[in-house]
A and B are shown apart, each in its own frame.
Chain A
Amino acid sequence: MDKVMMLQVLAASLFALGLTGVIIRRNVLVMLMCMELMLNGVNLSLATFAHTMGSAVGAVLVFLIFVVAAAEIAIAIPIVLLLVRRKRTLDIESYSDLKG
């Protein structure tokens, strides 16, 4: 297996790990971290493809993803703070006032 392939497999596993975490973990902060892990998998994959193909578009998208991920977290953390202040827990199961 060559280096590029290995990096792609690593990227895919990071993504899959993040996705699994978002689905099965019940701690809100861990879920947010897993979301970031998914995005990092994407970034690694994009950077590898950009390198092998010698085109800059992929690398530009990586920077945009950084910015957007930061913006998303900047909104997520205050929401988590609000919830924790009300419920005194990080367990997502206890945030169930709505009948999802």
Chain B
Amino acid sequence: MNFTAVSIAMAPEHLLLAGIVTLLILEIASDKAKAALPIAVVFVAAASAAAAWLGFTGWTGAPFPGQFDLAPPASFTKAIVLALAVPVLLASKDDFGKGEFYPLVLSSLYGVCLLASAESFLTLFLGIELMSIPVYVLVLMGFRRPESAEAALKYLVLSGTASASFLMGASLMYGSTGSLALESFALALGSPRLLAGTAVVMVVSAFFLKAAIVPFHGWAPDAYEAASVPSTAYMAVLVKAGVLVAAARVFGKAPVAEPLAGLLAILPLVSIVWGNIAAMRQAGLRRMIAYSSIAHAGYLFFAFLGDGPGRFQAVVFYLATYGVMNILAFTALPSHPEDVERDRLENLKGLFRTHPFAALLIGMAMLSLAGIPPFPGFVGKFLIFKNVMAAGYTTYAVLGLVGSYLGIYFYLRVIQYMFMTPEAVSGGHAPSRGVAMGASLICLAGSILIAVLPGTFLARL
């Protein structure tokens, strides 16, 4: 272990840690804490820039051999994830003016960064917990809603169960291969032993639970609905990104063989169909996004059917497009004095007349999430389904595509409400604020960048 290597390779993590410490000192030193938001934004942006710099210079190495290593794809993943967190932080100004929100988000981001470079189940476990534990508190902090404690408890119990199942899988893998390195998962995938098979199934179901794939999705709609809007955006995008990046690290380039391929195809397929159908019946945008994110987790797990080398690229690119569009929708949503009323679809009626800019941005996000061609969401879906077909799972690819068309209905319904219906009587949204507007503009710039230059992004992942 070499001191310079550690400080360079972990620069994004170190910057986040510095941010957490600064924010905590600020919290203790003064009780006004107006500076918390700019400090958090500066540190996250700096960490993102550091990760991008590590990626562009092609920094490769393992400061902690066997536990933490870094290669350009991991650096770019960190850069994208941290950049996505900046608009979330900016959008939180109205809901969380005071300090507690920011150290929690930064420590959760630290976990996500750790996941992108984890090389063993030990680091991966630390990353997952570091990512999820602050999120329980973020859900709880939507305390303008009395239901938030209930949602936080449901999330905590299910997420804790998933962690235990993940650890049991890791332990069995340790027993059958003798190491906790991530390569032992690939070994276990190819092994005919019952112990190894059980271990694989336990780890995969833990990922399904954390990413809200259908039989394990019960916590997601409740947690998304009861959290306040910035926390929902954080969970829907960054926590999901962390879980999927971890899954992509665990699977690595290992080919997926038959019994597991069935599990990896059928449950995600069911969640695509069920997520899209259930989203149609929802009355609030947050709950609708929750069900649609269940469907999106389905598309993302489809990517694991594809061949090894293209997998990580497809997953991260899809996460970037899905994430930027989801955050765009959440940041553009004008604030409302009543948190429950803020995202009711009824209240979005005629939004184009009262908030034309917000309505246009939300409309664009909906079209992209639905996967309509000129928008980046289409490229992400295309990449995943192309890989699935190339690996020979044509039937599943076709069924998944059919399922994804179900989703177009409810995305277009939001657009119909905003543009084609007269103004709601009880709309009452506050006028858009400067900071939130800036957050949406960052997302807009990001999505235009991805839409115009998808090739440059893909070449780097």
Contacts and interface: CB of A to CB of B under 8 A. Distances in A.
Contacts of A80: 153
B172 to A, nearest CB: 7
Contact of A97 (B146, B164, B168, B174): B146
Contact of A42 (B122, B129, B156, B168): B168
Contact of A72 (B133, B170, B225): B133
B221 A38 contact: no
A68 B134 CA distance: 12
A64 B122 contact: yes
B183 interface: no
A75 B122 contact: no
B161 A49 contact: no
A95 to B, nearest CB: 4
Nearest to B133: A71
B63 to A, nearest CB: 18
A57 B122 CA distance: 8
A19 B167 CA distance: 13
B93 interface: no
Contacts, number: 118
A28 B150 CA distance: 11
A28 to B, nearest CB: 7
Contacts of A15: 164, 168
Contact of A35 (B146, B150, B157): B157
B154 interface: yes
B125 A64 contact: yes
A24 interface: no
A75 B175 contact: no
B164 A35 contact: yes
Given A75-B133, A97-B147, A64 B168 contact: no
A85 B222 CA distance: 20
B135 to A, nearest CB: 10
Contacts of B226: 98
Top 7 closest A-B pairs, CB basis? A38-B164, A98-B222, A82-B149, A95-B150, A42-B167, A49-B175, A97-B147
Interface of A: 8, 11, 15, 18-19, 22, 28, 31-32, 35, 38-39, 41-42, 45-46, 49-50, 53, 55, 57-58, 60-61, 64-65, 68, 71-72, 75-76, 79-80, 82-83, 86, 92, 95-100
25 contacts: A8-B175, A38-B161, A38-B165, A42-B167, A45-B168, A46-B167, A46-B171, A49-B174, A50-B174, A55-B178, A55-B179, A58-B174, A61-B122, A61-B171, A64-B126, A65-B125, A68-B163, A75-B136, A75-B137, A79-B136, A83-B153, A97-B147, A98-B150, A98-B151, A100-B221
